[in-house]
Amino acid sequence: MSDDRRAPQPAGRAGDAPEPDGPVTFRDLFAVREYRAVYFSLVVNWLGDYLARAAITVLVYQQSDSVLLSAASFAISYLPWIVGGPVLAALAERYPYRRVMIVADLARAVPIALIALPGMPVYAILLLLFVAMLGAPPTQAARSALMPVILDRRRLVSGLAVNATTSQAAQVFGYLVGAFIATSVNARLGIALDAVSFIISAAIIALWVHPRPAAAGPDHRRHLLRETGEGFRLVFGTPLLRSIALMVFGLTTLTILPEGLAAGWAAVFDEDPADRGFDQGLIMAAGPVGFVIGGLVVGRLVSQPDRLRLVKPLAVLTPLALALTAFAPNAVTVAVLAAVSGLAQGGLMPTLNGEFVLALPHGYRARAYAVMQGGVQFTQFFAVVVTGALAQFSSIPLVVGLWSLGGLVLMVVLVARRPSDVPATTGPADATRVTPAPVRPGAAGKLDR
């Protein structure tokens, strides 16, 4: 089946009656067949991915007895985004999104399946894992770019919110189940399940997502690095997109701290290893749990205009809650404050994501997504490394408190300078706009008007 056939367009085309501003129900969202397909493929993919991450770290540790190599196996999953994510994701604009997702999922299943083979040495596991993760940037960028094509504006932000909260829930569930299978059954079983999940995900996309032509036709293709640079120029040359990007990057340098520093943080409150392990898990899980709750509450109960009004207070609340952890007397208090911070972020991120996607011209969405995702991965890595180094010379509560205080100042500045002219979100998504000409200096700002 060719991907060049024109697909049915999403509901809510231009000229239709304006859609209400009330919250979108789950029934409204899942009534869209293609969204159901993308959503369930994501769920299968995420569960397998997080399950495998936990299983691979256990397998590497069992074979090497090295904490460093075990940690390296976890960190490798972020490396492709940092070293070449935007370039790899630019491929998603050159080929049909559906084809990119299918091919990338099937290609990733092969090295993951090889890791599950008995007798695979540690160095080969790390190499195969890196190869498998090279497929993440193009497939994730293609999925992100496809969302405004299959959902109208009214449903889009709710769809992004559901995706984000499901991701956090899948992370918690996948890590717990993966660790249990790896330690109690067999680590290779968890890895094999991940390989199967990629095949299932590809099958779902192939069966229920309509073929569409590539976002950028042959006439619009240039050198891959040049196309990648256009994505950076679009994001950082457009006032609204730049404001959202800086806000997201700033928030991710904060919310990763409870997860990245949980082991040392738990040791501040408990000397007993058993109690310390419980406290570590509590601190690590608090943020994702809060994110899920915040995303569900805001996405389900708050109308789109009210979500936009909540952007500024939620952006300030996220670092403020973490700054207060400097005075926390125990791990439970840290977890509560981390959950509050995660709740604020969970209510905020889907709105920012929706604004970002709706401001992008068709043909640049995958590249812009890659810029954002690469930035998020880098800022998370940077935040954990720097705060971990600072914690060698000071206490973790003080480091996190001061770091978050700096984040609070940054958020106050960013929300004060946030462009007031944001894209309308009650009309249909402009999913069928003709692919624009190459971004020129000064032209990106026109997207804000």
Provide mean pLDDT across the span 120-140: 93
- Candidate ranges 101-115, 146-160, 230-244; pick with highest mean pLDDT: 101-115
99 pLDDT exceeds 90?
yes
Q: With beta carbons less than 8 A apart as the criterion, state whether 427 and 436 touch.
A: no
Backbone Cα Rg of the chain: 22
Residue-level pLDDT at 413 = 96
Model pTM score:
0.73
Q: Is the pLDDT of residue 18 over 80?
A: no
Judged on CB neighbours under 10 Å (0-12, 13-18, 19+), 1 is exposed
Q: Model confidence at 444, in pLDDT bands (50, 70, 90)? A: very low
Cα–Cα dist 25/241, whole Å: 28
pLDDT at 158 over 50: yes
Contacts of 439 (CB under 8 A, 6+ apart): 230, 233, 234, 237, 364
- Nearest Cα neighbor of 311 from 442, 232, 224, 419 is 419
At 273, the pLDDT band (50, 70, 90 cuts) reads low
Structural domains in the chain, sorted by start: 24-221 (1.20.1250.20), 224-449 (1.20.1250.20)
The whole-number pLDDT of residue 221 equals 58
* Conformation bin of residue 394: beta by default, left when phi > 0, alpha when psi is -120 to 50: beta
Q: How far apart are CA 447 and CA 357, in angstroms?
A: 12
Tell me which of 61-65, 128-132, 231-235 is least confident: 61-65
- Distance between CA atoms of 16 and 253, rounded to whole angstroms? 42
Q: With 70 as the cut, is the pLDDT of residue 6 above it? A: no
How many CB atoms lie under 10 A from the CB of residue 308?
A: 17
Q: Do 105 and 205 meet the contact criterion of CB atoms below 8 Å apart?
A: yes
Q: Please name which of 59, 176, 66, 41 lies closest in space to residue 115, comparing C-alpha atoms.
A: 59
Which one has a higher pLDDT value, 358 or 68?
Answer: 358
For residue range 183-200, list pLDDT tens digits in order. Answer: 788 889 999 999 999 999
Highest average pLDDT, of 283-287, 379-383, 411-415, comes from 411-415
The per-residue pLDDT for 274 is 65
Q: How confident is the model at residue 227 (pLDDT cuts 50, 70, 90)?
A: confident
The residue with tokens 């915040």 is 294
Q: What is the maximal distance between C-alpha atoms in the chain?
A: 66
Q: Please give the pLDDT value at position 223.
A: 66
Tokens for 267, please give them: 């040791």
Q: How far apart are CA 245 and CA 247, in angstroms?
A: 5
Does the pLDDT of residue 218 top 80, yes or no?
no
pLDDT tens digit sequence for 174-183: 877 877 787 7
Please state, in angstroms and rounded to a whole number, the distance separating the CA atoms of residues 19 and 230. Answer: 34
CA geometry: angle 388, 293, 318, nearest 5 deg: 45
Looking at residue 176, its amino acid is: L
Yes or no: say if 190 and 53 are a contact pair by the CB < 8 Å rule.
no
- At 447 the pLDDT is 31
Percent of the chain with pLDDT over 70: 86
Residue reference for tokens 């509450």:
297
Task: Write out pLDDT tens, residues 310-351.
Answer: 999 999 999 999 999 999 999 999 999 999 999 999 999 989
pLDDT at residue 312, as a whole number: 94
